Structure 1
Amino acid sequence: MTTTTHSRTRAIVLRALVLTVLALGATFLLDSYTNYQLAVVAAYFCATAGLTLLVGLTGQLSLGHGVLMAAGAYGYALAAGPAADAGLGGPLRFGLGILGALVVSGAVGALLGLAGARLRGPYLAGLTLALVVALPALTSEIPGVGGDQGLGVPFEGVPDALRGILGVEQWHAWIAVIVTAVAVTPLAVMRSGRSGMRMRAVHGDEVAAKLAGVSPARVKTGAFVAGALSAGLGGAVLAVATQNVSPGGYDLAFSLLLLVAVVIGGLGSIGGAAVGAALVVLLPWGINTLTAAAGLPADLEQRLSGNLAVLVFGGLLILVTVLWPGGLSHALAGPTRRLTSRFRTTDQPVPQSLTER
């Protein structure tokens, strides 16, 4: 690892640590329901972060990324449930659940990655689409996963040492934020390092990448596995927050919503993935809150519930695509750079080469 790469990695880790601490501190300012929303946003962020790298950097279109979240959620439930029945609790049970989520989601991601190394464009999209459509049938046929009703997830209570400080929803938000930091930070390091360069090279021209000594099959498979592991951790976090996992929560509409979120946020951008994940959770809630406060007739409010959010998402997608093709992250990049430049000193030293002229 070169000095530049090491410095870049250290900066990413430090930034992730600061953002994690800020997010944990913000939970003290939020009510119980908002902390629950924060946990859900963090879970979705795990999935969108992996999806934005998969689509934006390697060009592999996945229409069924929700399946990978479902794999992680089921893996967590299948590992944590028997652990709870055996009398295990606390960090040990949670750790076993996380391990189960990683194993199941990683296995599914590896299979999809091997297929993605051989399939391109609509063929890979069709495969992932078939998986998400077949998920309810698969859960009905596989014994021990609960069928359409799904599986219950053991309740993760607040540890005794923190019981007087944190509420249940706040503790779940803490779990979600910490797990998300562990899941997303390696993706950010991959994006900025040699792995990200290889992904961009494969996306740009596979023949040229091969001539440069890069294996497109290995890069595509690795990208799918990395995205699957992150999505699996997101599924585990969502299972902890909702205490249930069922195929109905990971249908085609949910997978397409994740894809829309990364497009609106900005393909290939980790920050854009965070923006997209927040929109998926907060925009429908905000719209429902406004319609409820508008005093509309009950039948009209019922028809607008859910449908209006989809309409707004579609309009936002069109607006962002037309005005900011790079997504909201690129639209915000300019103002952010101008804001940060104000804090830089204007008394820069004159380069020696100029003083010698």
Structure 2
Amino acid sequence: MTSSLDIIILGLSLSSSWGNGHATTYRALIGGLHAQGHRVLFLERDVPWYAAHRDLPDPDFCELVYYRDIDEMIENHAGRIKAADAVIIGSYVPSGVTVIDGIVALKPRRLCLYDIDTPVTLAKLDRGDEEYLARRQLPTFDAYFSFSGGDILTRLERSYGARKAIALYCSVDASRYQATGEAFCWDFGYLGTYSPDRQPSLERLLIEPARQLPHLRFAVAGPQYPEDIDWPANVERIEHLPPADHPSFYSRQRFTLNVTRSDMIAAGWSPSVRLFEAAACGTPIISDDWRGLHELFVNDRAIVIARRSKDVVDALTTINAAGRLALASAARATVVQRHTGDVRARELAAALRELPEERVNDSRPHRQSISV
């Protein structure tokens, strides 16, 4: 394999960050690959809900091609798929099972999965939901790159038949996510698409504190929130913020909230990209708790852990400017050293180089699955 890699990625979306965290994750990773001299072709299904909200339709760090018909996409790119150093298929790709089978039939040199939703994927597979990945397909991949680390990697290999499970956390483009120096607009804010399993945490860690602290200002940015949510008067709602506006949003908060989906909490070691983005912008973070968080950010030095509404109220009312600066500086230093797109791109390239070059096919020996 040459020093410069030729990589094809089939992912949920690169062009639109509307309602998903995949786009910014791919942008940071592929931007890092581009800066290191690698070539990336990103194939994205042309779907109306993203086509109507594209905030990066023509990136300058990779080739982006939209497709509507799967068979036509595979036929048009068959030569490049066969010749690429690696083909990586992401989670939540529309009709993902069909896409994977079509790519496998071409026998690429290395076929990998990048699961940006690992705990959700496994929960779906456990209940027989094969929306974008079939359980039978897991042993087909040369590597299963997982958004989650920790003991879930062992489970992937022992219980689900993954050949090689490797942690590949999300990351942030630190050249784009920086403090803007703007004046504070809010004392506490949150950026994230509505999710039913995150909503109780948002209620407990932001909405209830907003009710208890009517003199402070709060903000929640993100789409798809139901109209029947009872927002306190001091909570400003922002429907959607494109990534270009994220640094400004974070920079105008005294603190920002990180809340995690229930499947991610149960799995542990599943940091949201928003966690890294906020830290890169120098905004102090108040977060729910889960296994592995302390390995990413040292509690009370780089992040505030909140389990109850009172924990948030105490943080907002007792931590002074010097304390906020110390938290923000420690978190940003951690992210710059360990969680940028450049760092993640080096990790991916190194892992790909270690994989043997062999044509995948349906006759490869499958691991024996055992019960979870």
Q: TM-score range by the shorter chain?
A: under 0.3
Length-normalised TM-score, structure 2 = 0.23
Larger radius of gyration: 1
> Normalized against structure 1, the TM-score is what?
0.23
Q: Which has the higher strand share?
A: 2
Q: Which has the higher helix share?
A: 1
